[in-house]
Amino acid sequence: MSVQETSLAAYADAVPQLRPRQKKVYEILEEQGPMTNLEIAYYLHWPINIVTPRTNELVKLGVVQEMTRRPCRHTGRTSIAWGVVTHKAEQMAMFN
């Protein structure tokens, strides 16, 4: 199995096993595109201390990654904008 196939297999295993809050953060990023932790918190009406651990968990699972660093829409401070790791073929198979 190639590295790419192994990566795709790990990705396919991780997404369906997300806990409810992880899944909500994942879905928001998938729907809205890259967002900072504070933007996610604002969008979901959650405290930042609930969002930050979820994005860190999603990064460790390999389904979310740093997309860019940019000023946060709410604070103006430079922050990491997180985004969904895109494996189109795997996503289509999992969610259809």
H helical segments located in 33-71: 37-44, 48-61
Q: Confidence class of residue 88 from pLDDT cuts 50, 70 and 90?
A: very low
Is the pLDDT higher at 87 or at 72?
Answer: 72
Q: Confidence class of residue 46 from pLDDT cuts 50, 70 and 90?
A: very high
Q: 0.75 cut: is pTM over it?
A: no
**Of 1.20.1250.20, 1.10.3720.10, 1.10.10.10, 3.10.310.30, which CATH number belongs to 3-95?**
1.10.10.10
Integer Cα distance of 84 and 79 in angstroms: 16
